[in-house]
Structure 1
Amino acid sequence: MANPRREFLLKALNVDSLKGLEIGPLNKPLVRNEDVQEGGEIFYLDHLPTCELKEKYKDDLSIDVNQIVPVDFVCTDGNIVGATAGNLFDYVIASHVIEHAPNLLQFLKDIQTILKPGGQVFLVVPDKRFTFDFNRPLTTFGTALENLLTNVELPRISAVYDQAAMATNANGHNLWHGIVKAEDSNLLASEATAWKAALRVHKESFYYDVHVNIFTPESFFEILKKALLHEVVFYEVKQFLDTQIGQIEFMVQLEKPKDEPNNCLKSKCLASLPKFEIESLLSPYMPQVKALSDALQNSTEIISKFQHQLDVVRKDSDNKITNLQKELKIANEMLDRKSVKIILLSIDKIYSFLRK
């Protein structure tokens, strides 16, 4: 079966001769050791050693623990630069990772630090419009900047509370095709769970692995644009795949510039940002519009059918009324004739009686 993530990656990269790092691959890395030949290398980074990951996920039926890849770098505190111990990479892969980063801008800065000049980072990012984040507010640059400047190291109370209190049992297929089912709006957790988790973060600084950063493609690039304007990071957008029909994620390839940062380089990076026309913004909703259009057309056809049936009944009723009216008229005419005869007969009888 085709893997769009691997296709996106391998379209832009020859991994055979390059040194790469994949963050949080667990049991489904996009690049495996057998993919790399001719002197290339692939390393894996995760928040726990391999044995502890297998123990953590042993009861999770969605994960085959025997397929969990060997972890080369363990990053327990979010410090990717420290965890990789001075290694530099030709490319970094983060599939469904960036949304979990407590400090989004620091994450992007750290990736830039561990990339070689001209190195690439490949991001696979969930699109909130088609995931359980459907009801959650988008992350803003202001929020991301506050987390950077205050050196946030774990998900904030707001992120932990919002996921528990707002994440729903949303179905990507149903959202794409405008199918409304009551169960899709059910919360994955509850308000009570959200409150308890928020208090635990406050009192114990407990780390909950939640979606901290909520994106659409447009909002992601708006944050990147402001990060470039304020020179927080320097990346050039090399490839972007918008959320495809029926999918829940978009993909981005960024390149660390080979040259030292300057105004000319900043302008080049800003110019590489994709432009979102109205058609692009509306395209994810086209299947839903079509579904609604089809439903409207179906309703119109049903109404037309009932109207036709009503017209037939009305015409039949009109015919019956007309016939009844004719019969009544004839009856009246007959009655009128009989009345005249009776009157004449009565007059004749009276006249005959009077003559006697």
Structure 2
Amino acid sequence: MNRTELLLSLFDSSGFGLEVGPSYNPLLPKSKGYNVETVDYADAATLRRKYSANASQIEEVDYVSDGSSLLELIGQKERYDFVFASHVIEHVTDIVRFIQDCEALLKPTGVLVLAVPDKRFCFDTLRPVSTVGAALQAYIEKRTRHTPGMLFDHQLSICTKAGGIVWIEPTFDDVALVHEPKQAQDLFEISQKDTDYHDIHGWQFTPTYFRYFIKTLRALGYIKSGEVAFNKNDDIQLHLHEFYITLSKNAPTLDIADIDLLKKSEEELREIQLSRAPNPLESALKSKEQEISRLRDEFAKATDTQESKILTLQQHLRQSQLETQTLKASSSWKITAPLRFLRSVVR
């Protein structure tokens, strides 16, 4: 499935829904018959001016948000069958309130569908995951602006990889910082004096940590929704920089222990290699393949009168082939398969 097909497989899009922040790339365009309302940070005319190259894809905006409560903006509880938000939740200032607002706007059987960036494969890669405690702090503060400290961290740590802001290669090769520390300090000081909204990725997640994050907020009673569907893209897929989750107030409790989710989250972080340096297994395999090639050359040159030499070569050849097969069958070799493929593409 392509991205659109995959997302649409996570919920029933035939009902009445809300798409949050579609900008010039709606998943559910009204022009294609979807029964939706949209909310964005600006009206359609403003968006068309800003994204003039994609103006034809921008539809009328039903609600213009200033970042405050979605529920207060729309003003009607249990209105929608679904709410869809792609690359929105990482921008909100109060992630708990955002989910609570979506829950209030949804009918009892409604679902919240999210496409969320995987911090490991985008410009957030150098920042740590966002904790449940950090989300609760924003919630009790009723935060409507990102804090100066968050703006500082964003400005200080934002990076590119080979000039791109998203990627699929799981290494830190070619990663470069965008700003100097002084620029982060300037933003930090300015944000303490003005009231302007500064848009950043305020929240960073890996796929499994986000599952833990949602499960914990629900278990503690801050939100009502749990996971009913989850998808993490396979290695080497174009959209490896994001993952997808469907939440519902009717979801059963996620049957994975907290400690297992946290362990898996740490494992995900360790999947990113410092460098694309060759794996020791690759060097060993290359050596064996070279030995097999040499033995085959010698075997081809041997004559029928050199019967003992032929038998010896055959034995050595079989042994080398067996050792090569053992290397390729090892779990380490299988685990590093995506990285070898990506290296061949990048190089």
Unaligned runs of 5+ in 1: 258-264, 306-356
Query: 28, 31, 46: which is aligned to 1:31?
Result: 28
The verdict on how the C-alpha distance between 1:75 and 1:297 changes in structure 2, with shifts beyond 3 A counting, is: same
Q: Secondary structure at the match of 1:221?
A: helix
Q: C-alpha distance in 2, partners of 1:290/1:189?
A: 22
Unaligned runs of 5+ in 2: 291-347
**1:269 and 2:253 are equivalent in the alignment:** yes
Q: Contact between 1:237 and 1:272, CA under 8 Å: does it hold in 2?
A: no
Compute the displacement of 1:285 (Å). Answer: 6.7
Compute the displacement of 1:300 (Å). Answer: 7.4
Compute the displacement of 1:277 (Å). Answer: 9.2
Match of 2:39 in 1: 45
**1:196 and 2:186 are equivalent in the alignment:** yes
Q: Contact between 2:102 and 2:112, CA under 8 Å: does it hold in 1?
A: yes
**1:163 and 2:161 are equivalent in the alignment:** no
Q: Contact between 1:91 and 1:115, CA under 8 Å: does it hold in 2?
A: yes
Q: C-alpha distance in 1, partners of 2:172/2:284?
A: 16
The verdict on how the C-alpha distance between 1:109 and 1:56 changes in structure 2, with shifts beyond 3 A counting, is: same
**What one-letter code is carried by the residue in structure 2 that aligns with 1:73?**
Y
Q: C-alpha distance in 2, partners of 1:46/1:200?
A: 26
**1:99 and 2:90 are equivalent in the alignment:** yes
Compute the displacement of 1:167 (Å). Answer: 1.0
**How many percent identity over aligned positions?**
25
Structure 1 length as normaliser, TM-score? Answer: 0.70
Q: Contact between 2:158 and 2:178, CA under 8 Å: does it hold in 1?
A: yes
Higher-helix-fraction structure? 1
**1:297 and 2:282 are equivalent in the alignment:** yes
> Counterparts of 1:50-61 in structure 2 under 5 Å?
50-58=44-52
Query: 145, 169, 173: which is aligned to 1:175?
Result: 169
Q: C-alpha distance in 2, partners of 1:223/1:72?
A: 31
Q: C-alpha distance in 1, partners of 2:132/2:256?
A: 19
Structure 2 length as normaliser, TM-score? Answer: 0.72
Q: Secondary structure at the match of 2:234?
A: coil
Q: Secondary structure at the match of 1:162?
A: helix
Compute the displacement of 1:86 (Å). Answer: 1.2
Q: Secondary structure at the match of 2:185?
A: helix
> Counterparts of 1:241-256 in structure 2 under 5 Å?
241-246=231-236, 247-256=240-249
**What one-letter code is carried by the residue in structure 2 that aligns with 1:52?**
T
Compute the displacement of 1:290 (Å). Answer: 12
Q: Contact between 2:214 and 2:226, CA under 8 Å: does it hold in 1?
A: no
The Cα offsets for residues 17-72 of structure 1, whole Å up to 9 and x where unpaired, read as x1011000011111112443xxx6111100111112233444xxxx6233222111
Provide the aligned C-alpha RMSD in A. 3.3
Compute the displacement of 1:82 (Å). Answer: 1.6
**What one-letter code is carried by the residue in structure 2 that aligns with 1:224?**
I
Q: Secondary structure at the match of 1:137?
A: coil
> Counterparts of 1:142-157 in structure 2 under 5 Å?
142-157=133-148
The Cα offsets for residues 172-202 of structure 1, whole Å up to 9 and x where unpaired, read as 54632x4722xxx222233222112111211
Q: C-alpha distance in 2, partners of 1:20/1:273?
A: 33
The Cα offsets for residues 223-254 of structure 1, whole Å up to 9 and x where unpaired, read as 21221122111113110002421311110001
The verdict on how the C-alpha distance between 1:29 and 1:213 changes in structure 2, with shifts beyond 3 A counting, is: same
**1:77 and 2:67 are equivalent in the alignment:** yes
Q: Contact between 1:135 and 1:167, CA under 8 Å: does it hold in 2?
A: yes
Q: How many residues align?
A: 284
Larger Rg: 1
Q: C-alpha distance in 1, partners of 2:152/2:186?
A: 9
Q: Contact between 1:132 and 1:167, CA under 8 Å: does it hold in 2?
A: yes
> Counterparts of 1:265-344 in structure 2 under 5 Å?
268-271=252-255, 276=261, 282=267, 297-298=282-283, 301=286
Compute the displacement of 1:143 (Å). Answer: 0.7
**What one-letter code is carried by the residue in structure 2 that aligns with 1:269?**
T
Q: C-alpha distance in 2, partners of 1:272/1:66?
A: 45
Q: Contact between 2:87 and 2:117, CA under 8 Å: does it hold in 1?
A: yes
Compute the displacement of 1:281 (Å). Answer: 6.5
**What one-letter code is carried by the residue in structure 2 that aligns with 1:143?**
A
Query: 96, 102, 105: which is aligned to 1:111?
Result: 102
The Cα offsets for residues 66-111 of structure 1, whole Å up to 9 and x where unpaired, read as 3222111111132111221216100000100000011111111111
Query: 213, 216, 219: which is aligned to 1:229?
Result: 219
The Cα offsets for residues 289-317 of structure 1, whole Å up to 9 and x where unpaired, read as 99655575248747998xxxxxxxxxxxx
The verdict on how the C-alpha distance between 1:190 and 1:64 changes in structure 2, with shifts beyond 3 A counting, is: farther
Q: Secondary structure at the match of 1:125?
A: strand
